[in-house]
Structure 1
């Protein structure tokens, strides 16, 4: 069962795909289906078919979704009841026959098709549907007869293609090629027909022509690079050429699955859903164990989850040849978190050698210097990062000035409209005794970032100071739940532009002592005594 936030992220993908690309809608439907979002999957497949009514893969996938969820059975029963109680309707009877066929209820499908043929001997759809049903039953000779009857009434690309499939399955490859070519002469845009023609040409040893047709098919529909499960031919009888094609084209199915999980993991990471991101990236390991981008992604997630040793293990999987600025930066972050400042500087400067304007490395060099008490060096690195647009450095520098009570310099850094800016200005107002302004800004922070522990702690302190002890304790309790070891002197490290503001954080050894509910209550009681007000008894949960 996916979370509400995960569901919203997945549904948000629909806004980012090309609205007129049927392949994109089909691929998104597959993601939705695999995540249990069946209504959304059906909606995307219907969009794909609205754009391209001949998109066989999307139509097959829609049938799969409807069948797997029991919805196709429901539609069939409703349609069968309506036909039973109404005068004969050719269109509805054909529709019912098609649905019976898709549900593998072949005998019922055949009866419906024959009922239409009895009423209308010129029904192309009835002869064609009957032929398809017989083909599915393996009765290729009978199927050929019915499909030929359909062709005698009307020539079309779909009929020629089906004849090609039947001849191919009978082993009559020359006639298969001829019919596929006839289909393409009538409609050159059908990717699946090019694919099947390529496969048939390969069976005759015409490998260059085969590859040319298959490449054309994949240009028209990239999803055909993973078409093996849906080929309308007996693949096991022709496995050698299929393996040859896959090798020549270089499109293993695992790449598709890898890409889906990697993109999902990236989307979750960028939204701050690190556990969900880790799950998706771990799924990628089943398809590719040695990709540098994957181990870097897993290392960054481990750092964001404060799993430093695990991050180190993933970075150790990346060879020297695959070192990127992001990778060198991540290694530098690991070293900072282990108080190995010498190696940290080495890795961060390597990141800058690889990317001279890498603002995350500027910020992290500032944190490295700051942690060692080299304030002037830290400020210089922060200034470079701020000039390059790094908001983590802006936060680190602004909080430094706040601790020094240099409110003018801090205010200049917290002048924007982000949660960090609101938080920084709120602390300035609180330090100046302007509590109402501070509370207003802290409430804005909570609205934008419901998990901002610092905002809750400071709201708790201000309300307690104002004698509003119940509200003060409630906010302090929420802060304890979110971050028991909160302290405002932590320094933000930066992994990359997509995860600015998420951490990880550097804390000096011994800082960030856990706040207990007893301490929080005692502090509130102390303030209460100072104000000669009775503290109400509240039941605080454990941190």
Structure 2
């Protein structure tokens, strides 16, 4: 890869420097992408600096870790840099700057033992150097030794009790150890000392959410995103592997040849062969085949977080809620700040009848990302099931404030208004749906419901007919058309429509609420009955007798 890279032209260099000045210095995704641009222009040192800064901001950013390895080991930069630092230490063994950089280099590459060796030398010279103690704690945590990291950070706090960065790090370690109350205390103090620290505020939101204070969690998350808007941005992160698929494999060979161990999350990462095959099957609707490929991907050591997320989504699409829930339980345990995983876990629970647990999941999702419109919609449905009409209305309204074109939320709002008796507002909402999608079956069914309620059965019949024309297998519209025909005296037609409806769905609901998930390739129907219990007929109805009058 490096053989094709040349030094940037002066104009390109000026553009890159201008871009570097414009990006958010606190956004790891933007810094990673800047590093990719630098590296493709032959600016290896600048690329390494950008990837390094991205990892300092988000140590779990696997793509930046892989990019850093490629930049280090396919360009010869690692050997040059380490040789330079060792030469400085040979000349002056007390060069703390060189030893610090050497320790940081090892740590960023996941070589925890060598990193600790270098930082230990610095601590022997100055046992109370808080910056070095924090690096030791980071290395211990990265190596999985959270208890040791905790003790080092407690020592740092003894040295500097008002150090907000130490308090943030202590809060993070406490959180990952499951010590939520200790985490809350440390993070609250960090925010008091550094009120503009978005990271401390953001993590405090997760802790408050875990403790059940969802309003406090959402307020903290919203404030964190005001302080650092990149926290609420889903960014397409660039990879150097797009230019050379074998580059990371080559980088791993180079580091192994140097005997460099790796305790990082990126260790052992494999090409995403089976994951990509699963994605291809999913695109074609072959969901069983997709699940099989994702299983092979896990067996072959492909990125487990990425694969489990995809597998959980497919289980959700197949309606296998227990299998989906088992995976989402793992995902939220490993990534407690992941709004998407929390929302989808809530959908799996919701469909399993665990409405209170689903509501709690949606609240967790919104604590992580107050701008998650699908979670606001789902929270509205769950609040309706809990009998909290005001919270349900707020959920649907907030979803539409964030995304005015969100048809599922608009349909849920409309049907909620029907059930509450606000038929005029409901009709307006249904017509707004039909303006956005003139053939939407649920929109036409809703118009029919409002017209039936006004005893305008002839017009309602036409509306239900439009719904069935748009979706022939729409059970609710067949039921509703049958009732309209009964009121118009067409008992044969009513019998026909009701029999067809029963063939499609033995449960009757005038309309169902729709849950939503954010997936890239599908627009799944995840509808759910408006009431927690309903009547079901388990046998086929062969005849009816309608009584006139």
TM-score by length of 1: 0.46
Q: Which has the larger radius of gyration?
A: 1
TM-score by length of 2: 0.46
